[in-house]
Structure 1
Amino acid sequence: MSILVNKDTKLLVQGITGRDGQFHAGRMKEYGTNIVAGTSPGKGGQEVNGIPVFDTVSDAVKKTGANTSIIFVPAAFAADAILEASYAGIDLVIAISEGVPIQDMIRVNSIIKQNGTKLIGPNCPGLITPDEALVGILPGMIFKKGNIGLMSRSGTLTYEVVNMLTMNGLGQSTVVGIGGDPVAGLYYQEILEMYENDPETEAVVLIGEIGGDAEEQAAEYIAQHMTKPVVSFIAGQTAPPGKRMGHAGAIISSGAGTAEEKIKAFAKANVPVAKEPSEIPGLLKEKLAKATS
């Protein structure tokens, strides 16, 4: 069944006539994603890679039945693009745009929750259900169909860990890059619940990083609600206080959000934390063996 996206996803690409939109629309379509439309104001009636372009999301939804949108527009316009998709009835929005103002996202999140729209991102690589749908900028060739769910705040670590899983014969059900911004859409707890309820997911990898308390909240949720094995990795385990790691949300302040605190929280939830990403496949195999013994 997977989570969030699958072969039945009808994808709309907002900003499809731009450089990034065109390039990644082509890659997603080549992977097999069902892209039904794109939007670019003033360019309705054109085609990009054989994909029809509409002026508005509303028109695209009415004429194609699009239910998922991916956003490739400049940061200054990303909030409005998310809201346009939400008001048009899109169920799931993936915002790739980087540098979206925090104030914009605070406003957007409150509105889309009222509309019942799910959001991944912004500043994220997207998500993939292998062999069914690639919605984002992830390198599709490293993924393999399987039963491991993976979610991550870091895009590059996602690729590294997935490649290790695939090389060790551990395929993936759905991989979600949630992004590293301090204010974003769906986060660990919501996605953990989806994995828990997904019959195709047998175990979960959670990749976190220093800054904030999202991992601590996830550990508490795992302890109370998860029956499936979970393993983790925390990036920035040797980072000094105040160090920024490339993500706006990956900052330690006043002693909060340290790797040590996150590791302790996961230990209490019986979630092993890898010291290096290369340890993750082995930890997963141990957890799966115990779960079936």
Structure 2
Amino acid sequence: MSIFVDETTKVIYQGLTGSQGRFYGLRNRDYGTQVVAGTNPKKAGTDVEGIPIYASVAEAKEATGATASCVFIPAPGVKGAVMEAAEAGLELVVVITEGVPAQDEAWFFNKVRRDHPGTRILGPNCPGVISPGKANIGITAGEIAKEGGPVGIVSRSGTLTYQALYELKLADIGVTTCVGIGGDPVPGTSFIDCLEAFEADPETKAVMMIGEIGGSAEEEAAEFIKAEMSKPVAAYVAGVTAPPGKKMGHAGAIVSGGKGTAAAKIEALEDAGVRVGQNPTEAGAHMVDIVASL
């Protein structure tokens, strides 16, 4: 099985008529994802290489039966795009856009959780989600992922997500689903959300988790792993040498007030029984060992 998306998932691209939305929407379709519609109120009635464009998400959903959307709207319009998708009743909204204002993220995260509990937001500022061989929503290159299992991946870092997928592929290890939750301060989907889903998925036998400095998400995940996870976990935490007070890449990757350091996160994960690599390749080697022992 897979979590969140599979071969039956029908996806609307909000921003399909833009250059990036078109590029990745067509790549996702070529991968085998059911990209069934795009939205643009100014271009309704047209199409992008056979994919129909509708004026709104609600119209696109009614016409196609889609359950998910992928957002390639520029940052100032993301709040409206997310709410449009949630109000249309979509189950999953994958927000690729980076640079979304933190106050917007916090606002629509809480608004959707309160008023549209059936909608899951992934991102913003994330590579998306791929269930190899079934569906790819976002910007991850499908070629670097081996389908099957038994490993599930959840990551805050896009680039390290790709490295984890490819290193496992080189070791001939398949992945059930790889979820990039994004590195912004208010991610719509957390490590714990994904760990819980992987724990419940019978085909996922082990989990690889990639964290980074900033916030407390990794420590909270460690508590969940210790209390709730029966499946082995390997991890890597980026930013061991990051100086306090300096943002490192992602908006949420900052050590502040002595909190959010890589050392504290590694200690919490190791205390929960997680095998933590000192670099991404070592984390991959840990997962190879775990899979060999399953």
TM range (shorter): over 0.9
Identity %: 49
> Which secondary structure does the structure 1 equivalent of 2:111 belong to?
helix
Aligned amino acid, residue 122 of structure 1:
P
* 1:115 alignment counterpart: 116
Distance 2:128 2:213 in 1: 21
User: How many residues are matched?
Assistant: 291
Alignment of 1:43-82 (within 5 A): 43-82=43-82
Aligned amino acid, residue 126 of structure 1:
G
Q: 1:239 Cα deviation (Å)?
A: 1.4
* 2:183 alignment counterpart: 180
> Which secondary structure does the structure 2 equivalent of 1:12 belong to?
strand
C-alpha distance after superposition, 1:202-243 (max 9, x if no partner):
100000001111000000000000000001000011112123
C-alpha distance after superposition, 1:156-180 (max 9, x if no partner):
1111121111101111100011000
Q: Does 1:217 align with 2:230?
A: no
Which 4+ residue blocks in structure 1 deviate beyond 4 angstroms? none
* 2:260 alignment counterpart: 257
Question: Which sections of structure 2, spanning at least 5 residues, go unmatched?
Answer: none
Q: 1:272 Cα deviation (Å)?
A: 1.3
Distance 1:154 1:245 in 2: 11
Q: 1:289 Cα deviation (Å)?
A: 4.5
Q: Does 1:126 align with 2:128?
A: yes
1:168/1:281 contact within 8 Å kept: no
> Which secondary structure does the structure 2 equivalent of 1:17 belong to?
coil
Q: 1:282 Cα deviation (Å)?
A: 2.3
Q: Does 1:192 align with 2:195?
A: yes
Equivalent in 166, 178, 184 of residue 169 of structure 2 = 166
Distance 1:121 1:101 in 2: 13
Q: Does 1:153 align with 2:156?
A: yes
Provide the TM-score with structure 1 as the length reference.
Answer: 0.97
> Which secondary structure does the structure 2 equivalent of 1:233 belong to?
strand
* 1:5 alignment counterpart: 5
Distance 2:291 2:19 in 1: 43
Distance 1:30 1:21 in 2: 14
Q: Does 1:235 align with 2:238?
A: yes
> Which secondary structure does the structure 2 equivalent of 1:273 belong to?
strand
Distance 2:251 2:93 in 1: 21
Aligned amino acid, residue 245 of structure 2:
G
Q: 1:287 Cα deviation (Å)?
A: 2.9
1:229/1:288 contact within 8 Å kept: no
CA RMSD after TM alignment: 1.0
Q: 1:104 Cα deviation (Å)?
A: 0.9
Alignment of 1:253-292 (within 5 A): 253-290=256-293, 292=294
Distance 1:288 1:34 in 2: 31
Alignment of 1:84-95 (within 5 A): 84-95=84-95
Aligned amino acid, residue 120 of structure 1:
L
Distance 2:150 2:50 in 1: 33
Distance 2:283 2:170 in 1: 12
Aligned amino acid, residue 184 of structure 1:
P
